[in-house]
Structure 1
């Protein structure tokens, strides 16, 4: 592998972990970097799950002060997330690369639009309350989000923040902590399916994983200091670029 490709993949892993910890959307970056490096879309998508996993873990640990107050109440949402992720990952493995490639630009556009609309999709949270398991509607919304996360994943973070904001209580950082915890579950289940299906590019993953882990922890620090609008604008630009890139390739 050329040195420049390795540097690109490492930096993409770092940026992905950082933006996932702040607001989600890191899959745009890892998926795009591996696509530009020449990987088939299904392999790039599956490998993105592996590269982002350490970032999910480190950002979750960085939020442990919040998580330790509600993790028992979130076990049902974790189980629902696991079932949804399993379904989404199996659907992905049922497709071939040309079929998935045809879906990719539309998925990217939808995910980018969702990400851009994120601030208007979530009502004002309720400070001072624990984030607990919500209603049946909340459970179904989390299942649908997990199916999407297992299948593709780009924009999953903002989708989850939106649905959690509608169905759970807690301030932004508490909801973000819950989002990171559930993202760990979704990614873990999807990775098991992708590994069993033999669709992981391990060399690229090994290069990106350290960057993702460092970025995930750094992202929690930057979440309180870097304007979210700046991060969101960057992720939206990446999503639009990738969507039009795949339309052109199609």
Structure 2
């Protein structure tokens, strides 16, 4: 990579770390940049997952107040998310590269659609919570059916994140918001911890079995940028206008699709 390409990758990591802490879909920032500087799609995905782990950790730490009372539920969900991450990493490493190159544009397109419809989903969830009342985690008694649905959601979104992380957080907030009467800020805090788990487990799997497919320079640049971005995003993200973030994600997602298809 040239000097300017290195700056671009680190800057993409910074914005991805901040976006992941607040909205999710930071991969839609880093992935097209990694493709543009010449990384193959599978190498870009593996290096990106490794690089975003520090940003996920910073975002989770920044939302630690909103995690109050969610510990018991997270202890139940984390193993399912970790197992899903292993499943997704296995699929990424075993499916033919041609299959990945065919699937990824569809996944990016799905992620862009999810980002676009997120405001409507959030308003629907808000109306649902207003009608039912927000229940604090220590007052919520999970039925077996609801717990099974939550575990399935954790495994499913973990598999998606282990294979391709774009819009993993949007999926998590949307699905868990339907199953838990929580505020969006607390759902976002839960999302940050689950995303951290998925990316960390997937990254560890890649290091162990596919170290030769990691671009360590790119991963290190994304990691440095995402660490700072995750901290900034968690600290100041609530003051940023969501329309601006969402518009940037949509534009970059379209760029990723164009790059992949051409």
Alignment size in residue pairs = 248
- Is 1:130 paired with 2:142? no
Larger mean Cα displacement after TM superposition, 21-30 or 97-106 = 97-106
More helix by share: 2
Contact 1:92–1:151, Cα closer than 8 Å, also in 2:
yes
Map of 2:246 onto structure 1? 232
Q: What does the per-residue CA deviation read over 1:41-69, in whole Å, with 9 as the maximum and x for residues that have no partner? A: 00100111111100110110111122242
Change (3 A) 1:221 1:128: farther
1:108 maps to 108
Structure 2 equivalent of residue 181 of structure 1: 193
User: Retained in 1: the 8 A contact 2:36–2:259?
Assistant: no
Residue 72 of structure 1 and its aligned partner are, at CA, apart by: 2.5
Residue ranges of structure 2 left out of the alignment (5+ in a row): none
Distance 2:77 2:180 in 1: 11
Aligned to 2:47: 47
Task: Determine if the alignment matches structure 1 residue 207 to structure 2 residue 187.
Answer: no
2:72 corresponds to: 72
The equivalent residue for 2:256 is 242
Q: Structure 2: how far apart are the matches of 1:127 and 1:210?
A: 38
Task: Render the CA deviation track for 1:87-116: whole Å, top value 9, x for unaligned.
Answer: 111001002333211222111111111221
Q: Deviations over 1:139-186 (max 9, x none)?
A: 212211111000011111111110111112321211110000111110
Q: Which has the larger radius of gyration?
A: 2
Q: Residue 172 of structure 2 is aligned with which of 160, 164, 168?
A: 160
Distance in 2 (alpha carbons) for counterparts of 1:171 and 1:157 = 15
Post-superposition Cα deviations, 1:188-231, rounded to whole Å, max 9, x if no partner, equal 11011111222221111112211100000111123211111111
- The CA deviation at 1:27 is 0.5
Query: Residue 27 of structure 2 contacts residue 166 of structure 2 at CA under 8 Å; is this kept in 1?
Result: yes
Moved more, 64-73 or 27-36: 64-73
Q: In 2, distance between residues paired with 1:243 and 1:142? A: 27
Q: Point out where structure 1 has 5 or more consecutive residues left out of the alignment.
A: none
Maintained 8 Å contact 1:118/1:159: no
Aligned counterparts of 2:156 and 2:112: Cα–Cα separation in 1: 18
Moved more, 5-14 or 103-112: 103-112
Return the TM-score normalized by structure 1.
Answer: 0.94
Aligned to 2:70, the other structure's residue is in SS state coil
Are residues 1:219 and 2:237 paired?
no
Q: Name 1:194's counterpart in structure 2.
A: 206
Cα distance in 2 for residues equivalent to 1:157 and 1:230? 18
2:30 aligns with: 30
| 4+ long deviations beyond 6 Å | none
TM-score by length of 2: 0.90
Contact 2:35 2:259 in 1 (8 A): no
CA RMSD of aligned residues (A): 1.6
